[in-house]
A and B are shown apart, each in its own frame.
Chain A
């Protein structure tokens, strides 16, 4: 077979009928959309595109995609891309998580898994090469993260050991992704979990898994990574990448945990009390106060010398026993200062609780901050909640988090995520709550503000991202900047870790592995643009419960236009003119019109002619000719 770097096969599982089959991954599809995020967008379009607006992300017709890319396993650090129609944005989010499932999938001879339909009873999927089983998960349903991990891991490895130990020797344990109670209860901020604290949070795919009654996907493979076109070149590149990563001492020693104090004080862009401020001088949030709780200082994903993850565990005090990673910067911020919590131990505890419940720490931190501000403003009362919700009260936030995961009381409404909760509560209370809701197109923004202008998001970043408020895929100008939307689309499609990107290395890997002549330049002009354009069309199609209007929704959260009330950049806010002019420039580069709708010429140029009817549907809905 001529397709290098791919297994050339996808495993398609239909949970409604309890059947599975292997489908071919066509070479032209792989070439055009690469893998991961790009492939997800295409597969979703191909299956659901003509009735996208009617597809309920939490209904059985949605698909859950678990995909690898041609660089997975070769490039240092392993990532797995989870996608589907997002219950947050109603578009497509390529949500990545570090999980050895990606390596195992390729070792088992697949490029990914496509899960269709929904089971009636709780199940989990076990894949071992040609052996694919849909097994009962009755005994796992309702369990939190740690217990799910323990039981499943014991069950899976015990089974392998029984079968293979005597004759063939030990095999490595299978890897799996799973959901916690939040996913089971279809909470829109639920994550797909791996290990204990790794999460594919953006997009809300934990809820999609829950809607399919799918507790976990476990994979075991025995083979090598798919054949590379130039194996010797790949060998050299791996060494090259290792040595580049070994030089990055900051990430290696502290990971993103190092950002807590820095982002808050130096760039003044950290959410504080639901983004009312973006600055604090609380030195308690410095990395040295977290290090005291690190029981593992270096924790790496497959093949990655960078080891930015750290495991924290509290060994004393009222939160004793809480275990999580880092926390990384995002959770430090969102389950810390954003809730008025400035105490590392309380922050570790809240992060470990989010892991345990299977909630996305960013999205849930966003909705918790939103609720607390409503409480502060008197919109939500003690009667609504059943208890007081004051800034900094970690136990109250923990209680609310559990209520969200279980959809109890007010938690049922907040489980819909910030955007939908704001609409629902606003209607109930008869007030407009949109100014307190810090989300873009249903996706709570990452913990990097744009008001000070000192952090990486630019004025228009959140306004036009095809993944909504996702800070890991931020549109930036000039367009080919590292950690911009185009480079992110590459990383999520290839599928690799964006922290491991060094210069042109990923593109060299792509050429060495696949043999395709795709350079950074062709990526910018063709492949990346194609993927982003397709994602944009699906996002604008939207539905069924919410539709986005570019005139209203291609914008920052209202809060970003309020001047910063404190800190070194006091008084600054995002400038509307700047947003508009950057938007024009960005849309122009992509070949989209002033509303950000791809023009016919662009579609033709990118080989996306088949999107024409969809684009017409969007224009019609918007009344934009």
Chain B
């Protein structure tokens, strides 16, 4: 896909199986590591699963907030890339992130965020192979990114009402 891309998430199709987390951590960490996965599925209530990952806000507040120029935007995919050498783990990007996707790696204490696997995201592949297609790669231009720069507990609240019809 030419040009910047976006991982579209269809919450109602998400089974909560976390294949995306496993695939992501296998790719980036070489092992199964739920908290080091760049995509994470939150389940605050059984059955209400919220895949949570970077929305690549067009105004990139995290990149702007970084005092050490450790973050930059990948020109071809639009992903935020972290320069581990420059990152001091100060947490400025974490505070700036509206959806609190950006965070510090549990071990290295450097900022981590979805890098879109250079354009072919492993999470999307795993989700597709399993037949759920809760994650899909779409052109970035079509996305109202602000919708996705949201805290997962807020999404969960709305999703709960959709799925279970409220209390």
Give chain A's interface residues, CB within 8 Å of chain B.
Answer: 73-74, 103, 107, 149-150, 153, 157, 165-173, 195-197, 221-225, 227-228, 231, 234-235, 238, 242-243, 246, 252, 295-296, 298-305, 307, 311, 313, 315, 321, 323
Give the residue among B22, B129, B132, B163 with the most A Cβ atoms within 10 A. B22
Listed from nearest, the 3 A-B pairs whose CB atoms lie closest are: A169-B103, A300-B17, A298-B15
- Is B152 close to A, CB under 8 A? yes
- Within 8 Å by CB of A300, from B15, B97, B100, lies B15
Given A171-B103, A222-B35, 6 additional A-B pairs, CB 8 A: A172-B34, A196-B46, A295-B163, A295-B164, A303-B17, A305-B130
Interface pair B46/A168, CB less than 8 Å apart: no
Q: Interface size bucket, B side?
A: 35 or more
Q: Using known A-B contacts A295-B164, A298-B132, determine if residue A311 contacts B47 with beta carbons closer than 8 Å.
A: yes
Closest to A106 in B: B32
Closest to A321 in B: B167
Residues of A within 8 A of B19 (CB): 242, 300, 303-305
Residues of B within 8 A of A195 (CB): 46
Residues of A within 8 A of B42 (CB): 172-173
- Within 8 Å by CB of B34, from A103, A242, A304, A321, lies A103
- Is B68 close to A, CB under 8 A? no
Interface pair B16/A299, CB less than 8 Å apart: yes
Residues of A within 8 A of B21 (CB): 303
- Within 8 Å by CB of B163, from A172, A296, A298, lies A296
Q: How far is the CA of A231 from the CA of B106 in the complex (A)?
A: 20
Interface pair A304/B103, CB less than 8 Å apart: no
Interface pair B32/A73, CB less than 8 Å apart: yes
Q: How far is the CA of A301 from the CA of B29 in the complex (A)?
A: 21
Taking the closest CB of chain B, its distance from the CB of A354, in whole angstroms, is 15
Closest to A78 in B: B18
Q: How far is the CA of A302 from the CA of B52 in the complex (A)?
A: 16
Q: Using known A-B contacts A168-B94, A238-B22, A295-B47, determine if residue A74 contacts B17 with beta carbons closer than 8 Å.
A: no
Interface pair A246/B46, CB less than 8 Å apart: no
Taking the closest CB of chain B, its distance from the CB of A452, in whole angstroms, is 35
Taking the closest CB of chain A, its distance from the CB of B151, in whole angstroms, is 8
Residues of B within 8 A of A224 (CB): 25, 29, 31-33, 36
Q: How far is the CA of A176 from the CA of B23 in the complex (A)?
A: 24
Residues of B within 8 A of A150 (CB): 45
Residues of B within 8 A of A231 (CB): 30-31
Taking the closest CB of chain B, its distance from the CB of A276, in whole angstroms, is 35
Interface pair A323/B164, CB less than 8 Å apart: yes
Residues of A within 8 A of B33 (CB): 107, 223-225
- Is B104 close to A, CB under 8 A? yes
Interface pair B100/A169, CB less than 8 Å apart: yes
Taking the closest CB of chain A, its distance from the CB of B136, in whole angstroms, is 16
Q: Which of B20-65 contact A (CB under 8 A)?
A: 21-22, 25-26, 29-36, 40, 42-47, 52
Residues of B within 8 A of A165 (CB): 100
Closest to B90 in A: A167
Q: How far is the CA of A5 from the CA of B46 in the complex (A)?
A: 29
Interface pair B16/A300, CB less than 8 Å apart: yes
Provide a sorted-by-A list of 23 A–B residue pairs whose CB atoms are within 8 angstroms: A74-B32, A157-B44, A167-B94, A169-B100, A170-B52, A170-B101, A170-B152, A171-B35, A197-B46, A222-B106, A224-B29, A224-B32, A242-B126, A242-B130, A246-B131, A301-B17, A303-B32, A304-B17, A305-B131, A311-B47, A311-B163, A321-B167, A323-B164
- Within 8 Å by CB of B18, from A107, A223, A302, lies A302
Taking the closest CB of chain B, its distance from the CB of A251, in whole angstroms, is 12
Interface pair A300/B34, CB less than 8 Å apart: no
Interface pair A223/B106, CB less than 8 Å apart: yes
Interface pair B107/A223, CB less than 8 Å apart: yes
Q: How far is the CA of A170 from the CA of B163 in the complex (A)?
A: 24
Q: Using known A-B contacts A222-B106, A252-B131, A301-B17, determine if residue A107 contacts B26 with beta carbons closer than 8 Å.
A: no
Closest to B106 in A: A222
Q: How far is the CA of A556 from the CA of B142 in the complex (A)?
A: 65
Q: How far is the CA of A258 from the CA of B112 in the complex (A)?
A: 43
- Within 8 Å by CB of A167, from B30, B91, B132, B163, lies B91
Q: How far is the CA of A336 from the CA of B91 in the complex (A)?
A: 55
Q: How far is the CA of A302 from the CA of B17 in the complex (A)?
A: 5
Closest to A307 in B: B15
- Within 8 Å by CB of B35, from A172, A235, A301, A305, lies A172
Taking the closest CB of chain A, its distance from the CB of B47, in whole angstroms, is 4
Residues of A within 8 A of B22 (CB): 238, 303
Residues of B within 8 A of A149 (CB): 45-46
Q: How far is the CA of A295 from the CA of B94 in the complex (A)?
A: 35
Taking the closest CB of chain B, its distance from the CB of A224, in whole angstroms, is 4
- Is B67 close to A, CB under 8 A? no
Q: Which of B76-95 contact A (CB under 8 A)?
A: 91, 94-95
Q: How far is the CA of A300 from the CA of B15 in the complex (A)?
A: 6
